[in-house]
Amino acid sequence: MKDELPSGTIIGNDYRVINTLGRGGFGITYKCEDIRLKHIVAVKEYYPEGMVDRTPTTFKVSPASNSVDIFSWGKKKFLLEGTTLAAIQHKYSNEFIVKIIRFVEERGTAYLVMEFIDGMQIDDFANSNKIISATQVEKLFRNLCLKALKPIHDSSFYHRDIKPANILIRNSNGEPVIIDFGAARQTSGGKSTVALLTPRYSAVEQYASQEDMDEDENHDLCGPFTDIYSLAATFYYIIRGEPPLDAPSRLLNESTEKLVGDPTLSHYSANFLMQIDWGMKPIPKDRPQTIDEWLSAPDTSTTQTSSPVSKSVGASTQKEEIEADGTSESLSNKQLTDGSQTSNFKLGIVAVFVMLVLIVTLLPDSEIQEPKKLVAKQQAKTKVIPSTKKELQKSAWLIGVDAVEWTSIELHEKLKYMQTEPDGLFELKLHAEEPFRIKTQKGMATTKADAKSFGQINGEVFLKSVNGTPQKVRVEITQTK
């Protein structure tokens, strides 16, 4: 992207940009080398998208004229996040919260220099072939509660953006670490939609409250129970293989679905499932109010059977199945994707084998969504969520298909964003209500309304409507390996 710092740029006299690791709405994270100590760090730049511009020559960041106040307020919050985290680190000195090395103010903006974590996202970790037993999932949960969230909450700070992408599992020891705090997220920039949140993992009070630069935080609706919701929703995803509905929908639908009692999840302890159910209660006061409460007492309103919670927190009494570092290195995480991996990936795209599953169907969209996945009971004893291994990532979009010109489905562009492994296998599904032509490097075919064909293709896919009028085609790509 043109507005990212190019490689070679020096930040804070000490850190040379190697490449961009990732970006979100409020910042860009770079992989950098400490030029004195010769080690790798991650540097996050405060760069709220849509609010700022960068001067091409000096790389100076300046806010748009109508965003000056909110930019500097956000910058202050960004730095406060850094100092708070550093203070928590200093006090508790643990490996479960990302280490802040220093912060820098220059180019009109601010930078947080953090340790570079060689690891993968918790959901990728759970979906990978590396492991993983129910016991290990429960251990990850307890460690995140006691060693990451509790110290943060004890410091009167909330993370506010717990989600799979913000929890990495270190390749070195298989332990979780929380990254990318969301303190400076909820600026009042949005006019009339609630799009700033991470819908599936944000608690309902986050939708209902707004942090403003001109107000103190005395009437903040959020609390430890907010992070508790998000962590529970994250583990719901890991357990079920699909994220929960967004919190407002769960509140309005009076969602009563529970994990506990689900026979397909019998390999988890009932106590753990109850904890997740309890943490995901839509109304804040129905949830555990603190981490201690969460871990100490199961919610009696959902109690069916209870088995004692294992006390072996972090003590590694269970035998783990994590493989040694060497084999884990090729597994990148979405947040911190290495540049070399990205370029490998680009090369990989050319040779990517795309499994083409062409389904032209008259079914309405709601009926073509993936059926709910259930874990086969015999497998469930030893493996967690085997059903999701087949669907690591999915992306779907609508394209308008012309009747005259070929329309590219821009497969490569999408695959790039999916940031998957270079030689991943993909399944492509196309849904339309009318017949259309499809062109690939292998040739051309005309689909019928009831056609169903399978094949493998290389390269881009082009579509054209056959009945003389443009139409819409729903494209869905799923990574299958």
Using CB under 8 A, which residues numbered 84 to 113 contact other proteins? none
Here's the x/- map for other proteins, 269-308, by CB under 8 A: it reads as --------------xxx-----------------------
The separation between the first and the last C-alpha atoms of the chain, rounded to the nearest angstrom, is 28
- Rounded to 10 deg, the angle between the 411-418 and 339-350 helix axes is 150
Listed ranges 292-300, 304-312, 360-368, 372-380: which one lies at the site for other proteins (CB under 8 A) = 360-368
For position 209 contacting other proteins by CB under 8 A, the verdict is yes
Out of 39, 381, 394, 472, which residue is the one contacting other proteins (CB under 8 A)?
472
CB of 253 to other proteins, least distance (A): 11
| Residue from 204, 274, 295, 463 in contact with other proteins (CB under 8 A) | 204
d(CA 222, CA 228): 11
Q: Binding to other proteins by residue 218, rule CB under 8 A? A: no
Residue 249 interacts with other proteins (CB under 8 A): yes or no:
yes
Residue 399 contacts residue 465 (beta carbons within 8 Å): no
How far apart CA 243 and CA 116 sit, in angstroms, is 28
Decide if residue 467 touches other proteins (CB under 8 A).
Answer: no
| Choice from 397, 446, 448, 452 touching other proteins (CB under 8 A) | 397
- The C-alpha angle 308, 280, 124, rounded to 5 degrees, equals 85
User: 3-state class of 436 per DSSP?
Assistant: strand
Residue 191 as a binder of other proteins (CB under 8 A): the answer is: yes
Residue 114 C-alpha from the chain's centroid = 19
Stretch of 155-163, 172-180, 241-249, 323-331 lying at the interface with other proteins (CB under 8 A): 241-249
Among 65, 192, 300, 378, binds other proteins (CB under 8 A): 192
For residue 148, give both structure tokens: 């990451």
Closer Cβ to other proteins, 314 or 400, answer by number: 400
Closest to 154 in 3D by CA, of 227, 220, 211:
227
Residue 445 touching other proteins (CB under 8 A): no
Nearer to other proteins, 206 or 447 (CB): 206
- By CB under 8 A, tell whether 313 contacts other proteins: no
Task: Using DSSP, state whether 180 is helix, strand or coil.
Answer: coil
DSSP strand pairing (354-359 vs 426-431): parallel
257, 365, 413, 423: residue in contact with other proteins (rule CB under 8 A): 365
Using the contact rule CB under 8 A, the part of the chain among 98-106, 136-144, 184-192, 418-426 near other proteins is 184-192
- Token look-up 């270190």 returns 170
For residue 388, give the amino acid letter: T
Q: Are residues 406 and 463 in contact, defined by beta-carbon separation less than 8 angstroms?
A: yes
Q: 454 burial class (0-12, 13-18, 19+ CB within 10 angstroms)?
A: exposed
Query: Judged by CB, which is closer to other proteins: 146, or 251?
Result: 251
Does the protein bind other proteins through residue 215 (CB under 8 A)? yes
**Inter-CA distances, 412 with 314, 347, 352, 437, Å:** 42, 11, 10, 20
CB of 217 to other proteins, least distance (A): 12
Smallest gap from Cβ 364 to other proteins, in A, equals 6
Q: CA quadruple 15, 16, 17, 18: dihedral positive or negative?
A: negative
Q: Residue 221 interacts with other proteins (CB under 8 A)?
A: yes
Assess 406 for contact with other proteins (CB under 8 A): no
C-alpha distances (whole Å) from 144 to each of 124, 172, 196, 353, 430 are 17, 17, 25, 38, 40
ω before 276 within 30° of 0 (cis)?
Answer: no
Asked if 314 is part of the footprint of other proteins (rule: CB under 8 A), the reply reads: no
Is the C-alpha dihedral spanning 282, 285, 286, 290 positive or negative? positive
Count residues binding other proteins (CB under 8 A).
Answer: 34
Q: Does 351 bind other proteins (CB under 8 A)?
A: no
Q: How far is CA 14 from CA 59, 98, 129, 339, in A?
A: 17, 20, 38, 20
Minimum distance from CB of 204 to other proteins (Å)? 7
Residue 472 Cβ vs other proteins, minimum distance, rounded to whole Å: 6
| CB closer to other proteins, 192 vs 441 | 192
Q: Residue 158 is encoded by which pair of tokens?
A: 């909330």
Does position 194 interact with other proteins (CB under 8 A)? The reply is yes
Regarding 205 and contact with other proteins (CB under 8 A), the answer is yes
Binding site residues, other proteins, CB under 8 A: 50, 190-194, 204-205, 207-210, 215, 219, 221, 246, 248-249, 251-252, 283-285, 364-366, 396-400, 433, 469, 472
